[in-house]
Amino acid sequence: MSLQGKIALVTGASRGIGQAIALELAGMGVTVIGTATSDSGAEAITAYLKEAGNAGRGMRLEVTEEGACDGIVETITKEFGGIDILVNNAGITRDNLLMRMKDEEWDALFATNLRPIYKLSKAVMRGMMKSRWGRIINITSVVGAIGNAGQTNYSAAKAAMFGFTKSLAKEVGSRGVTVNAVAPGFIDTDMTKGLPEEQKAKLVENIALGRLGLPQDIADAVGFLASDKAGYITGCTLHVNGGMFMN
Amino acid sequence: MEQIEQRVKKIVAEQLGVPETDVKTESSFVNDLGADSLDTVELVMALEEEFECEIPDEEAEKITTVQQAIDYVSAHLK
């Protein structure tokens, strides 16, 4: 599944799922640009990409800053060429019961997790349409499909990505651009490390495969969707959750 | 001026996949030349490149005929 010479932008690539995706694509011959919210995070990305022998690098991107999404696409296009693969992975959680949810928690979630997929997809679309080839892969979550107490904001934003994915897939399919989503289940990352052991054990009981997922499980799915082998798949959500939810 | 008209018509024909002879100045991209909304977006992109200009979204939406494209380019060409 070689994608030699293609250029990918992976947001939120400093650790966890994003890092695994960046390295997976790098292994497929893709020049990868990974983003982090801090300069040190961007440097760390540059370091691991270099170690993997990749020509790409890390860049700082604070998605909520005005003009930042357009700016980074412009920078990458000038430095590396047009972006062929966009992986919208960056995301935050601001968990709270709805009864205690603060406006800032609700708003920050949508500003960070949802608005940038619109901004970045729009910014890369010109190049993808021109080259008649493109891949947009949105990392959503199983909780967007099944819900989770304490995550009304997170699950609402993740569910919104399903609709975005399908609509954009219909808009640009005729130009050779596919738009898909990957919905991870419970993956062993920093985001889920904070959960109490007891709660984790309970979660695993509901996973058919009896274990938490690994970042690589998600990266494999993204690598497949980015490849030419997935050229006839669009508007689809690939659930990678060990069987905790079956669509 | 004539040269702009020819260049615009050529791009319209190429982008929409219609014979250049079908492209009249009064032709509407959607009604006469069979373009869909995404075709018109691409057409504007092609015009921007040919004439090395940037057409803002709110202006681009007003360009629906060959004549309007010619007018816009003529008025904004450096």
**Average pLDDT over all residues of chain A:** 96
Contact indicator for A158, A113 with CB cutoff of 8 Å: yes
Note down the domain range covering A230: 7-186+215-239
**Among residues B36, B39, B57, B71, which one is catalytic?**
B36
Domain assignment present for residue A192? The answer is: no
By CA distance, what is B46's nearest residue in A?
Answer: A130
Tell me how many degrees the CA angle A239-A63-A226 measures, rounded to the nearest 5: 35
Check CB contact under 8 Å for B45 and A175: no
CATH number of the domain within which A118 lies: 3.40.50.720
Residues A118-142, mean pLDDT to the nearest whole number: 96
Per-residue model confidence as pLDDT tens digits over A167-204: 999 999 999 999 999 999 999 988 778 788 888 888 89
Q: What is the pTM of this model?
A: 0.93
By CA distance, what is A168's nearest residue in B?
Answer: B38
Cα gap B29→B40, rounded to integer Å: 7
B54 at A interface, C-beta within 8 A: no
**Number of domain units in chain A:** 1
Domain assignment present for residue A1? The answer is: no
φ, ψ of residue A245 to 5 degrees: the values are: -145, 130
- Taken as a whole, chain A contains a residue count of 247
Domain assignment present for residue A229? The answer is: yes
Domain assignment present for residue A154? The answer is: yes
Domain assignment present for residue A246? The answer is: no
Domain assignment present for residue A194? The answer is: no
Domain assignment present for residue A112? The answer is: yes
Query: Domain spanning B1-76 has what CATH number?
Result: 1.10.1200.10
How would you classify residue A123: left for phi > 0, otherwise alpha for psi between -120 and 50, otherwise beta?
alpha
pLDDT at B34 over 70: yes
Task: List, by residue number, the catalytic residues of A.
Answer: 154
Q: Is A37 annotated as a binding residue?
A: yes
Which residue from A194, A193, A187, A189 is spatially nearest to A211, judged by alpha carbons? A187
Q: Which of A126, A172, A174 sits opposite B45 (nearest CB)?
A: A126
**Average pLDDT over all residues of chain B:** 93
